[in-house]
Amino acid sequence: MVVSIWTGLAIYFIIWWLTLFTVLPWGVRPPENPEPGMATSAPEKPRLILKFAVTTVLSGAIYGVLWALVEYDMINVF
């Protein structure tokens, strides 16, 4: 089955967002002494660039597995 580039990008985008919300809480620790006026639950070092990179790699792998399953008729989507 041939999937258009736009359908593939839309599916990848959805996988990327779901993976991002899974990766965001990894390694989050609140500061021991928060500054006055700051939320006590705000992460000390959010490391967002690392989390975006991990999200991109994981979602690419998930998309690749999903593509292979559909391409080789192991699952039927349509």
Q: Where are the domains of the chain?
A: 1-28+43-78
CA dihedral (11, 16, 21, 23) positive or negative? positive
pLDDT in tens, 18-75: 999 999 999 999 888 888 888 888 898 999 999 999 999 999 999 999 999 988 989 8
Whether the predicted pLDDT of 1 surpasses 70 = no
Burial class (CB in 10 A: 0-12, 13-18, 19+), 59: buried
**What's residue 6's pLDDT?**
93
Whether the predicted pLDDT of 77 surpasses 80 = no
Whether the predicted pLDDT of 78 surpasses 80 = no
**What's residue 31's pLDDT?**
87
Which of 47, 62, 77 lies closest to 17 in space, CA to CA?
62
